[in-house]
Amino acid sequence: MCGIAGYVGYRNASDVLIDCLKRLEYRGYDSAGIAVANKKLSIFKATGEIDSLRENMPKMHGSAGIGHTRWATHGKVSKENAHPHISCDKKIAIVHNGIIENFKYLKEQLEGKGHQFNSETDSEVIAHLIEEEYKGNLEDAVASAIKNLRGAYAIVAISIDEPEKIVAVRKESPLVVGAGDGENFVASDIPAFLGYTNRVIHPNDGEICIMEKDSIKFINEKGKELNKEEEVVNWDIEDAEKSGYRHFMLKEIHEQPSTIYNALTGRISEIEPHVELEDLESDMDEITITACGTSFYAGMVGKYIIEKLARIPVSVELSSEYRYFGRKSGTVVAITQSGETADTIGAVKEAKRNGCNTIAITNVTGSSITRITDFSIFTRCGPEIGVAATKTFTAQIAVLFLIALKLGMENFYLRGDELREYVSALRQLPSRLEKVLGKEDEIAGIAKKLKDYDSIFFIGRGVNYPLALEGALKLKEISYIHSEGFAAGELKHGPFALLDEKTAVVAIVAKDAVRDKMLSNIGEIKARNATVIAIADESDEEIDKYADHVIRFPSLPEFVSSIPIAVILQLIAYHVANLRGCPIDKPRNLAKSVTVE
């Protein structure tokens, strides 16, 4: 997730852009840059936070410009990879947020025509494509260039030949236009320019926006002019940073259709079913996953998927235990959102000392874990601000899924039709998640029934067991209700003693080989007068007879449904905590990143 901005008006563009980028820093901040058009294009880029750009930037003159704050996906954190990217003749500059899936192909084509590239990014192809198409009119060149792009993008472009104009376009990446008086803005998100104007226009996919200081024009891909309505936003800056959501956690829960899309984009292909995961080696005989908290539960989900699809034995170890007591051999996969968790880093160092091959799955490029593991895979979620992990948990599962598919494919355990089915189901996840998020009111209603219980259990079998553990962790950390996750078959070995009418149980029931066993577990729980909320497959017609309330998730192949189920569990925890008036984004006694042992 990156942040982009563009400005044209009567002020100094670089000052405005720095301001906008600072407000977009929550989208990522490993490097940043600005391009301003005057007699020539002045460009300045720096690694680090926006403040480092501001402090080191020379005075830049000009009243139209573009800016970018980066959260690396393709290519390391460096000045060369920071945006804006420019054309060979140094007349056109672009900033981009998203992922261009076919950039390797486009780069080869453009190099064949003599274009020279200066970065490892997917984005740079856009500047060269626009240069190729430019015949004196920037919007026409942008319109022609985007016809070649596959993937997701929000782009803002500027040309020195038309220095008082900026052109922007989006497809499946956020972009919003701010209409001012004698000045106009465009950015990834409203907070970027809210200090200047609260009049906004939302471009749809494929609509091209042409802005000068006194005009905003929209055209469609065929060049036809469009009428767009302005909307007035009555948010203050703090509300706007949460995009109007009450808490960052809720905003991050709602971002999951796009974070899952980002985690998968460019890594799976449906046409010729295929998984590409950077340079992941496939010769692994045994895997140990090590992590803490929510990342540990993602690792447990991963174990079920990898063992089934790739038939490689996986053990999952808490980093704080593994570091001192674990068996250190084979490949060690460390999962850590922050990349800074002391226990996980300690575990990896120990594994390395013992000669293990080490891989990190993390959300933060340049974090400590990426500097010590042999190889890193990024979850591409953008910064997570709520202390309770949400979008990064589901993205970690998505990445583990890709690892399982890749290993299964390369070790010839996964048949072509199975691979095709999984790839197609993963592709559908963003739209399926939208559907789950559409059930928020229903889930909030169920949260009302749960909010006064002293104790809530979460149960599941198979891959739904770690999801039950995660559901319980999410609820306890933000609502302070005592909650526990259990493998459903284990209740009778002890926890049953706690069940009575003051206990509620959330049961995850998939249409899998153990569904009947889950139904008998629910019967046993009901016999002890506890309330049962079932999270069940939408095609399960019988479940209403067993549970007091049912929340349904979309029917998807085995394992793929873990992601929608996780989102339902997050919404339950969020709404229970909200009804109890808890400080959701900053729960007591907890920190986002635990850098002490």
Q: Are 177 and 184 in contact (CB under 8 A)?
A: yes
- Is 449 catalytic? The answer is no
* Chain centre to alpha carbon of residue 442: 25
- Is 171 catalytic? The answer is no
Residue 292 engages ligand F6R in binding (rule: CB under 6 A): yes
Q: Are 76 and 371 in contact (CB under 8 A)?
A: no
Residue 344 engages ligand F6R in binding (rule: CB under 6 A): yes
Cβ 332 to ligand F6R shortest distance, Å: 15
The correct pick among 389, 425, 543, 566 for binding ligand F6R (CB under 6 A) is: 389
Token pair 């979008």 is found at 391
3-state secondary structure of 413: coil
Cβ 575 to ligand F6R shortest distance, Å: 16
Cβ 466 to ligand F6R shortest distance, Å: 13
Cβ 97 to ligand F6R shortest distance, Å: 24
Helix axes 416-437, 391-410, angle to 10 degrees: 170
Q: Number of residues in contact with ligand F6R, rule: CB under 6 A?
A: 15
Cβ 341 to ligand F6R shortest distance, Å: 3
* Chain centre to alpha carbon of residue 595: 23
Choices 36-44, 287-295, 402-410, 507-515; region in contact with ligand F6R by CB under 6 A: 287-295
Distance CA 395, CA 257 (A): 10
Binding mask 251-280 for ligand F6R (x = CB under 6 A): ------------------------------
User: Whose Cβ is closer to ligand F6R: residue 75's or residue 346's?
Assistant: 346
Task: Outline where 134-247 has alpha helix (H).
Answer: 138-146, 237-241
User: Whose Cβ is closer to ligand F6R: residue 52's or residue 593's?
Assistant: 593
Residue 388 engages ligand F6R in binding (rule: CB under 6 A): yes
The correct pick among 188, 336, 368, 394 for binding ligand F6R (CB under 6 A) is: 336
Residues 252, 257, 258, 261, Cα dihedral to 10° = 130
Residue 372 engages ligand F6R in binding (rule: CB under 6 A): no
User: Whose Cβ is closer to ligand F6R: residue 163's or residue 339's?
Assistant: 339
User: Whose Cβ is closer to ligand F6R: residue 137's or residue 593's?
Assistant: 593
Residue 317 engages ligand F6R in binding (rule: CB under 6 A): no
Choices 202-210, 288-296, 371-379, 440-448; region in contact with ligand F6R by CB under 6 A: 288-296
Torsion 390-379-555-253 (CA) sign = positive
Angle, alpha carbons 538-304-492 (nearest 5°): 75
Pairing of strands 268-269, 287-291: unpaired
Strand-pair partners of 507: 459, 534
**3-class DSSP string for 505-562:** EEEEECCCCCHHHHHHHHHHHHHCCCEEEEEEECCCCCHHHCCCEEEEECCCCCCCCH
Residue 295 engages ligand F6R in binding (rule: CB under 6 A): yes
Residue 376 engages ligand F6R in binding (rule: CB under 6 A): no
Cβ 174 to ligand F6R shortest distance, Å: 25
3-state secondary structure of 315: strand
* Residues at the contact surface with ligand F6R, assessed by CB under 6 A: 292-295, 336-338, 341, 344, 388-389, 473, 477, 593-594
- Catalytic positions, written as ranges: 2, 592
